[in-house]
């Protein structure tokens, strides 16, 4: 990693490299580094019926990630996956 950069250069396995290529803006990268753990922490809370906290973390985490994609100027991975899936059906 270049120490003068705020975001790691794309590298590593194909999935990680693709993710890093799509998250090169420092603000977008930071929003994802906060939003992804929030979203993941929400899942066990939802299974334990801690609905308010779980939905708050999940919604807040996703909101941060979508905001990151607005900053980056590219669609979220879920949107790309859905577009690919729909294109295969046609």
Q: Is 74 helix (H, G, I), strand (E, B) or coil?
A: coil
Q: Is 84 helix (H, G, I), strand (E, B) or coil?
A: helix
- Is there a contact between 2 and 9 (Cβ–Cβ < 8 Å)? yes
Instruction: Report the alpha-carbon distance of residue 77 to residue 90 in Å, rounded.
Output: 20
pTM of the model: 0.81
Give the pLDDT confidence of 24-83 residue by residue, as tens digits.
999 999 999 999 999 999 999 989 998 999 999 999 999 999 999 999 999 888 888 888
Q: What share of the chain is helix, strand, coil (3-state, %, to 5)?
A: 70, 0, 30
Whether the predicted pLDDT of 2 surpasses 70: no
Domain limits, the chain: 27-89
């Amino acid at each position: 990693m270049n120490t003068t950069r705020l975001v790691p250069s794309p590298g590593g396995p194909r999935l990680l490299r693709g993710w890093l290529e799509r998250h090169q803006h420092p603000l977008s990268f930071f929003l994802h580094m906060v939003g992804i753990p929030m979203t993941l922490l929400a899942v066990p809370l939802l299974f334990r019926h801690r609905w308010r906290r779980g939905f708050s973390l999940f919604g807040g985490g996703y909101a941060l990630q979508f905001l990151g994609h607005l900053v980056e100027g590219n669609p979220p991975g879920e949107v790309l996956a859905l577009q690919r899936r729909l294109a295969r059906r046609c």
